[in-house]
Amino acid sequence: MKSIITVIGKDKAGIIAKVSTKLADNNINIEDISQTIMQNYFTMVMLVEISNSKLDFTNLVCEMKALGEEIGVDVYVQHEDVFNSMHKI
């Protein structure tokens, strides 16, 4: 099962490190990643494999939201199926 994780907020050191560490600690593999800085705002989109995660989907959403609050960014987790449905033309 895959999910899409988006991270948005004021740019600061350590965002990628903290997010990727949280994922690795929970056995979640990053399969693809795109990140950029837009006028001092950090944006990142990640495709992750969560089949082997230590967390169920609901707890993953909660943990990532809490991490975002801790580091001062917004972190959203969407199941791949929801993401695909929302973005069909």
Domain CATH number, residue 71:
3.30.70.260
Query: How many structural domains does the chain have?
Result: 1
Q: How confident is the model at residue 74 (pLDDT cuts 50, 70, 90)?
A: very high
What pLDDT sits at residue 80? 79
Pick from 72, 52, 58, 59: which is nearest to 10 by CA?
Answer: 72
- The per-residue pLDDT for range 17-37, each reduced to its tens digit, is 999 999 999 999 999 999 999
Domain that includes residue 16, residue range:
2-86
Pairing of strands 41-49, 2-10: antiparallel
* Mean pLDDT along residues 34-63: 95
Q: What is the SS3 assignment for 82?
A: helix
What pLDDT sits at residue 10? 97
The proportion of the chain whose per-residue pLDDT surpasses 70, expressed as a percent, equals 93
What is the rounded distance in angstroms from the CA atom of residue 7 to the CA atom of residue 54? Answer: 21
- Across the chain, mean pLDDT equals 93
